[in-house]
Structures are given as C-alpha cells and as structure tokens.
C-alpha cells in the first residue's frame, strides 16, 4: 500500500501532536512552521486528565515527566481578602476518578517533548521558515504554497496554524474576531526569588471585581506561572509576546494579596495581550483540507482547555483517517465528532471569564456562595460536574 502523506500547517502544540499521531499510524508527515526556529513562547498550561490521556497514548509523558508539577488541589480564592471559596483535591484523586493525573507544565516544555517525540519518527519531518500563503485543492489531495515559492503536496492538509490561521481564512473568509474587553498579563518567576511570599503550590484562581488571576507551578515546581485577566478597553493588540510594563500590571493587581504582587515585582519579563472571541465556524473542512486546535475553535483561557482540545483533536483526526481511503469523509466525521464538544468548552470558557469577575457583593455572594457550600458538603458532587470534560476518552 502506498504511504499516505500529510502536510500540517503550524508547528505548535496541536500541529506537533497531529503530526506525531499520524506518523505513529504510518503516515508520511511534514510539519511546516513559519518561524525560523522551532521554539515555543508562552507561559504555563494546566493539562487535565483528558489531555494527559492523549500524551500517554502518544508516548510523550516520559519525555516531559521531569517538567511536570502535580498540584495537591485546585482552589478558588478572593484576590484581595484571600478568602477561600472552595478547594478541590486533585493529587491522587484525579488518577482514581479520571484515570490520569491533573498536572501543570510550561508550554515550552510540552512543546519540546512533542517535538522530540515527532523527530524520533522515521516518517516525520519538520520544516522551519516555511510561511504559507494559501492552499489549492488538487486531484488526490491539496497543496500549500510557501512565501518563497515552494509548493508542498499532501493527501491531507491540516491547518493547525493558530488564531491567525491562513488556512481558516481562505476556507471561511476573513476572520471575525471580536474584542472581549479583557486584557491578559502573564509572567513566569522562580519560586526562589519570592521567599515566603510565593503563592500556594496549588492551582489557584484569584477572583475579584472586573478581573481575575491564576497562579500555577511549572518547571517541575521550581517556577510560579502568573496569568491575570483584567476588563479594560485601552489595549486591543492580540499576541503572546507583546512586552508590558511591570508598573501597569501592579496598577491592576497592586492591592491584591502579597503573594501575587510579589510575583509581579520579581518579574523580569511581563507580557500583555488582548483577548478576542470568535464565533464557531460554519465548516472546518474543504475536501481533503481541515482545521485543528485554535485554527478551528479558538477559546478564551478561563477553562484551561485550549491546548488540551488541540491534543484531543490530533488523535481523533488520526483515528478517523486510520481505516479509510476516503479522506474527505473522514475529515467530515472528525468535524462532526469534535464540534459539539469544543463548542461546549468554548461556551463554558466564556462563561467562566464572566463568573470570576463579579463586581457587586450580591453578585459574588450569589455566585460563590453555592460553590462554597457544595464543596464543603460533597467534593465528589463538585468533581462529578467535571466528568464530561476530564473523563473524556479520545479513543472511545
């Protein structure tokens, strides 16, 4: 049987995972990355059990084990008062209930693990400095055209090229992004630089009026990852690597807990970006061409599922392509199977962003009061609400 060839636009987490899943199934894979080098920027990620199940299946976990941090619990606290709303145990509990750990990791460490696993596949290649200008459907597949004039053909083309996807925009028209009125801050700081003022070694959501923050541990627990999201309209630039000023971040969070302000003061590199919402796409597929991850379903970070949904996409797509010669039909099944789930996650992420920003005392009481009561009465009941997301099995 002739080896089938996949071309993947984008060498981020979703693109590498897809390339790895297909290569392990015997596909000839070429990943095209527009950056001059395969490096990943960004900050910490929370990989829930549904994501760890994918990484286990792809053989990546041993490559990233030293970089993982498994928090004892996930907590919701008030950013100014430090009052704890709820605490959900995770270490040990997640493995027992959902079959995998709940972990935290730096995006670059996960990216490096996926890249290492992909490069170990004899039928996989990664090409950098390969900026795509568009694609064309051809007999038996599709070709992408690169800025420098090259043409690359594949039996299938996967657009994993992120929120500014060239493949998506050609397929569905110009991007219809809408500014949410929220701006995000991020930084990573060594725990050793914080002394007694380090945030707790859990996953903590800090809620407040018109803003919230999340602190996690990455790099095996040696670093604190901070992400803060603030409602404001004076900054509308989208992108992971836009430098911001420490003093501006302190204006937003300076009256919150010392463990948070200490992170900002110790930061040697603050980054800032605007959050945009995008409506669900009418279609992810154009014959032998499909979309994956942020290119298909970008979502706000308030559910910590963006990278995990891309990992799920990768193995579901590979499974659909495994036992068929009709690629277009396989892609339609992939879209039909994934779209309801990722749309639900998108909606929940947007809802969480609003929930964490309650401005009035009454709103906070009505929102957080039932959460506090439920977590104290029955942790199992609260965890059961996560079964649909954390207990998902991509292999059925």
Pairing status of strand 5-9 against strand 156-159? parallel
Q: How confident is the model at residue 396 (pLDDT cuts 50, 70, 90)?
A: very low
- pLDDT tens string 51-87: 999 999 999 999 999 999 999 999 999 999 999 988 8
Segment 24-31 mean pLDDT: 97
CB 319 within 8 A of CB 22: no
Question: How far apart, in Å, are the Cα atoms of 297 and each of 161, 243, 280, 304, 342?
Answer: 12, 26, 7, 14, 7
* In this structure, CATH architecture of domain 5-68+107-176+278-353: 3-Layer(bba) Sandwich (3.50)
Pairing status of strand 84-89 against strand 73-78? antiparallel
Domain boundaries, the chain: 5-68+107-176+278-353
Query: In Å, how far from its chain's centre is CA 185?
Result: 16
Coil vs helix vs strand at 82? coil
- pLDDT tens string 87-133: 889 999 999 999 999 999 999 999 999 999 999 999 999 999 999 99
Question: How far apart, in Å, are the Cα atoms of 201 and each of 23, 224, 225, 256, 259?
Answer: 37, 9, 11, 18, 11
- pLDDT tens string 315-351: 999 999 998 889 999 999 999 999 999 999 998 888 7
Residue 311 and residue 394: Cα distance in Å, rounded?
10
Q: What pLDDT is stored for residue 70 in this prediction?
A: 97
Question: How far apart, in Å, are the Cα atoms of 116 and each of 38, 66, 77, 101?
Answer: 11, 15, 38, 22
Residue 201 and residue 187: Cα distance in Å, rounded?
16
Q: How confident is the model at residue 363 (pLDDT cuts 50, 70, 90)?
A: low
- pLDDT tens string 253-296: 999 999 999 999 999 989 998 888 888 898 999 999 999 999 99
Question: How far apart, in Å, are the Cα atoms of 159 and each of 36, 218, 292, 344?
Answer: 19, 29, 6, 22
């Amino acid at each position: 049987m002739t080896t089938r060839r996949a071309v993947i636009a984008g060498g981020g987490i979703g693109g590498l995972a897809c390339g790895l899943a297909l290569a392990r199934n015997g596909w000839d894979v070429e990943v095209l990355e527009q950056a001059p080098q395969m490096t990943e920027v960004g900050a910490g990620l929370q990989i829930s059990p549904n994501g760890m199940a994918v990484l286990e299946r792809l053989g990546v976990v041993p490559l990233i084990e030293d970089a993982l941090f498994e928090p004892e619990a996930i907590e919701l606290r008030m950013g100014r008062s430090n009052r704890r709303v709820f605490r959900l145990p995770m270490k040990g509990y997640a493995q027992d209930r959902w079959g995998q750990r709940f972990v935290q990791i730096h995006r670059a460490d996960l990216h490096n693990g996926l890249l290492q696993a992909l490069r170990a596949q004899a039928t996989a290649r990664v090409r950098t400095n390969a900026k795509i200008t568009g694609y064309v459907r051809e007999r038996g597949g599709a070709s992408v055209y690169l800025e420098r004039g090259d043409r690359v053909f594949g039996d299938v083309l996967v657009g994993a090229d992120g929120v500014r996807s060239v493949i998506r925009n050609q397929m569905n028209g110009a991007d219809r992004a809408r500014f949410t009125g929220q701006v995000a801050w991020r930084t990573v700081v060594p725990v050793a630089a914080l002394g007694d003022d380090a945030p707790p070694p859990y996953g903590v959501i800090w809620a407040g009026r018109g803003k919230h923050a999340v602190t996690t541990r990455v790099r095996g627990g040696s670093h604190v990852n901070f992400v803060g999201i603030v409602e404001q309209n004076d900054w509308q630039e989208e992108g992971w690597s836009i430098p911001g000023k420490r003093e501006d971040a302190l204006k937003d969070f300076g009256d919150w807990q010392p463990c948070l302000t200490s992170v900002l003061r110790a930061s040697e590199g603050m980054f800032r970006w605007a959050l945009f919402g995008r409506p669900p796409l009418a279609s992810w597929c154009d014959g032998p061409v499909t979309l994956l991850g942020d290119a298909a379903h970008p979502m706000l970070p308030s559910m910590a599922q963006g990278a995990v949904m891309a990992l799920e996409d990768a193995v579901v797509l590979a499974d659909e392509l495994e036992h068929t010669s009709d690629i277009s039909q396989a892609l339609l099944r992939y879209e039909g199977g994934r779209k309801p789930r990722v749309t639900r996650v998108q909606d929940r992420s947007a809802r969480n962003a609003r929930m964490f920003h309650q401005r009035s005392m009454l709103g906070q009481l009505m929102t957080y009061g039932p959460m506090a009561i439920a977590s104290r009465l029955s942790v199992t009941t609260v965890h059961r609400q996560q079964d649909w997301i954390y207990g998902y099995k991509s292999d059925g």
